[in-house]
């Protein structure tokens, strides 16, 4: 049988020799192994000072994007809520009043948009489902808390700021390939819309 790793050992019921039964060579061998680790480079990352780099595809806390003019892109179509396997997203839609064009891009917008971060499994399906490029997962981590209520994130936490420096960078997730993929009507997932 082919083994999965190169570390497998043949097992046998052979009687141990006197040297083996004295265990001392085995013990010394073990101590040699541990002392080698003593001088090895350590795997620990000192967290607050040094941060571990995330993979570009890391899926963390969501962001609701604004467009170039600062208007919210989300049109409260509900596709993300439908796509969400964990049913973490709920929203209430509202109609845009005259004079609010600066705030919302489409005639319909989400007056309430909530993601329950305890339900979310960070699968990224909402991101894939969104036709308006409104929701993205980012490299930010959802902070911990001791109260469950605090994990229902509303628009106050999800929508990015208007100012240039408060925008959340999602360019790594919005590559040309992704856009192409989204526009490919051949694919099952895009046909459904």
- Sequence-separated (6 or more) residues with CB below 8 Å from residue 176: none
Residue ranges binding ligand SF4 (CB under 6 A): 74-80, 83-86, 88-89, 115, 120-126, 129-130, 132, 134-135
Q: Residue 162's closest CA among 107, 91, 102?
A: 102
Smaller CB separation from another protein, 41 or 148: 41
Which of ligand SF4, another protein, none has residue 61 at its interface (CB below 5 to 8 Å by kind)?
A: none
Which of another protein, ligand SF4, none has residue 71 at its interface (CB below 5 to 8 Å by kind)?
A: none
Kind and range of the H or E run holding 91: strand 89-95
Q: Residue 133's closest CA among 87, 91, 168?
A: 168
Smaller CB separation from another protein, 4 or 43: 43
Which of another protein, ligand SF4, none has residue 34 at its interface (CB below 5 to 8 Å by kind)?
A: another protein
Rounded Cα–Cα distance for residues 66 and 6 (Å)? 52
Q: Residue 108's closest CA among 85, 79, 82?
A: 79
Burial of 51 (0-12, 13-18, 19+ CB in 10 A): exposed
Q: In the complex, what is the shortest distance from the CB of residue 28 to ligand SF4, in angstroms, rounded to a whole number?
A: 53
Smaller CB separation from ligand SF4, 33 or 55: 55
Q: In the complex, what is the shortest distance from the CB of residue 7 to another protein, in angstroms, rounded to a whole number?
A: 18
Among all chains, which residue has been given the structure tokens 């408060």? 166
Q: In the complex, what is the shortest distance from the CB of residue 162 to another protein, in angstroms, rounded to a whole number?
A: 39
Q: In the complex, what is the shortest distance from the CB of residue 155 to ligand SF4, in angstroms, rounded to a whole number?
A: 11
Residue ranges binding another protein (CB under 8 A): 27, 30-31, 33-35, 37-38, 40-44, 46
CB count, 10 Å around CB of 83? 18
Smaller CB separation from ligand SF4, 25 or 131: 131
Smaller CB separation from another protein, 25 or 60: 25
Q: In the complex, what is the shortest distance from the CB of residue 49 to another protein, in angstroms, rounded to a whole number?
A: 11
């Amino acid at each position: 049988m082919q083994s999965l790793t190169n570390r497998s050992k043949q097992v046998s019921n052979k009687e141990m020799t006197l040297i083996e039964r004295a265990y001392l060579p085995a013990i010394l061998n073990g101590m040699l192994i541990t002392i080698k680790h003593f001088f090895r480079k350590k795997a620990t990352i000192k967290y607050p000072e040094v941060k571990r780099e995330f993979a570009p595809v890391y899926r963390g806390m969501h962001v609701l994007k604004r467009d170039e003019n600062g208007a919210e892109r989300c049109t409260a179509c509900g596709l993300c809520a439908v796509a969400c396997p964990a049913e973490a997203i709920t929203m209430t839609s509202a109609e845009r009043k005259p004079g609010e064009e600066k705030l919302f891009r489409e005639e319909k917008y989400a007056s309430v948009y909530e993601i329950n971060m305890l339900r979310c499994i960070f699968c990224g399906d909402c991101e894939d489902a969104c036709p308006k490029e409104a929701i993205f997962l980012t490299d930010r981590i959802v902070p911990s808390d001791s109260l469950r209520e605090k994990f229902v994130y509303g628009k106050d936490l999800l929508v990015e700021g208007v100012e240039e420096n408060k925008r959340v960078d999602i360019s790594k997730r919005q590559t040309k390939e992704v856009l192409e993929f989204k526009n490919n009507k051949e694919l099952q997932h895009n046909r459904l819309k």
